[in-house]
Each structure stands twice: as C-alpha cells, then as structure tokens.
Amino acid sequence: MVIYTFMQYFQFCCIFLAFIFSLRTINNDKVVGCMKGFYWYSVVAVILSGISLFNLLGDTKFLHLALIINKISFIFHYAFLSLFIFRALNVDALRRIFIPLFFAFLLCILVLLFETILQADSFLINSLTNFFLVTFSLFYYYDLFGGKPVRNLFNQSSFWVISGLFLCLTVTIPLNVMKTLLVAKNDMSLNLFITNTAIFFYAVMHLFFIKAYSCSINPTKA
C-alpha cells in the first residue's frame, strides 16, 4: 500500500510537471501545429489525478462521482489522443482508414460505457480504449516508415507524445487483462502490484509529454 501511495504521488507530480510545461504552449503562436490545444489533455489529467489523490487521502464522500468522472474521462482520453494521432498522420490512405475506425471504436466505447457506468470495475473499458489507441499508434509508426523520412524524430513532438502513449498502453493492456483475471481470483497483492506498474507507466507517459512540449515551441533547441 505504501508503494501504491507513493505511485499516486509520483503520478500526480509527473502530471503536474507536464501541466506546468503545457502552460508555455497556451496561446503561443510558435507552437507546432499538432501540439496546439494539446495542453487540454494535461489540464484534464491534472484534475483527474487530483481527484484520485483526494480520494486516496481518505475523503470518500465523492467516490461515486469520481468513478463516473473517471469513466467518462475514457471517452476524452480516447477521442483526444486519437485525434492527435490523426493530425500527426501524413499518408492520406491511412487517414481514410482512420476516420471510420475512429467512429466504430468510439461507438464500442460508448456502448460499453453506458453498460458499465455504475459498476466499479473499469478494467474492460480501460483495456478496450487502450487497445484502440495502440492500433492508432501503430498507424503512426506505419506512417512514419511509409512516408518520406524527412522528419527529425528527436525534435518531433508528435513522435514523443505517441511513443509515450505507446509505452504506457503496451504495458497497461496486458496488465489490465491480468488484473481482471487476478481480481477474479482475489489475489489482492498482485493486483496492487499491477496497479502500481500501470500508474508508474501512466506517469512516464506524461514525462514523454514534457519532452513533446519542449520540442513543440523551439524544435531545434529542445
């Protein structure tokens, strides 16, 4: 439990740090196209992380509300990051496949959300959302190697955002699946261990976002 608490604080710190960096990009004309408005993700993340920390500190009055907000946040998480990946794509053929897939996946998520909105268990919707995002991240990597190799990846904001996302998702998907199975078996210590790992990688994803924010304003110096 100590590790869990530490991870929650660590996650909040990383998200808050990313949020601080994101402030530089607000109303900044020098920000590269795909990063315009990306700060909203950090704003929402810092609010959600704050709520999570608030619940951890013992105030369980808003636990039910927090659960609903958390579930709705999956739609935001999915839609926001999918659209970010879409904006980062250059190959038209991929963009054409992307749009119908995006709406089909969104429909799946919405159906699942309304089915399970009052259930405490959010593993399934989390896994599904992450799986869809991993699919879109693969689109990006395909686009990266399919098009002309003229980008400088070290200074490419979209590369760092999507790589951070890809890292977080590829780790959390199998963990979520395992967690679902382990919860069924009531193995709480392993369950906690998996949660900690997921939280850690979610925090690392925001560290990647910090790199992306740094690249977004002055790519040559980042």
Partner 1 sequence: MLNQSHQSLIIFIIVVVILLVLFGVFIVTIIYRYQKRQIAYFTEIEELKVTHHNTLLQSQLEVQEQTFQHIAREIHDNIGQKLTLAKLYLNTVAYTDMDNVKLSVNDSLTLITESISSLSDVSKSMGTDIILNNGLVKAIEIELKKLNRTGLYNCTCNVTGREVFFNGNTEIVIFRIVQECINNFIKHAAGKTINIGLDYSNEELSLMITDNGQGFDTNKQATGAGLINIKKRAAILNGSCRIHSSIKGTNITINIPINENTIQANNYTGR
21: which residues sit within 8 A by CB, 6+ positions away?
Answer: 42, 209, 210, 213, 214
Nearer to partner 1, 96 or 151 (CB): 151
Min CB(119)–partner 1 separation in Å: 28
Q: Residue holding tokens 């869809």? A: 132
Q: Is the Cβ of residue 45 or residue 199 nearer to partner 1 in the bound state?
A: 199
First to last CA, the chain: 38
Q: Which is nearer to partner 1, 33 or 147 (CB)?
A: 147
Which tokens belong to 214? 């740094």
Closer CB to partner 1, 81 or 125, in the complex: 81
Interface positions with partner 1 (CB under 8 A): 2-3, 141, 144-145, 148-151, 153-154, 163, 167, 170-171, 189, 192-193, 196-197, 200-201, 204
Closest distance to partner 1 from the beta carbon of 167 (Å): 5
CA-wise closest residue to 221 among 164, 163, 158, 154? 154
CA atoms lying within 13 Å on the CB side of residue 60? 1
Q: What is the closest distance, in whole angstroms, from the C-beta atom of residue 200 to partner 1 in the complex? A: 6
Which one, 34 or 203, has the nearer CB to partner 1?
203
Q: For residue 89, give both structure tokens.
A: 């794509």
CB of 138 to partner 1, least distance (A): 12
Helices (H), the chain: 2-23, 39-56, 63-88, 92-116, 123-146, 157-184, 188-217
Our CB check for partner 1 shows the closer of 139 and 200 to be: 200
Please state the closest distance from residue 2 (CB atom) to partner 1, in A.
7
> Pick from 46, 37, 44: which is nearest to 73 by CA?
44
Q: Which tokens sit at 65? A: 């509300």
**Minimum gap (Å) between residue 153 Cβ and partner 1:** 5
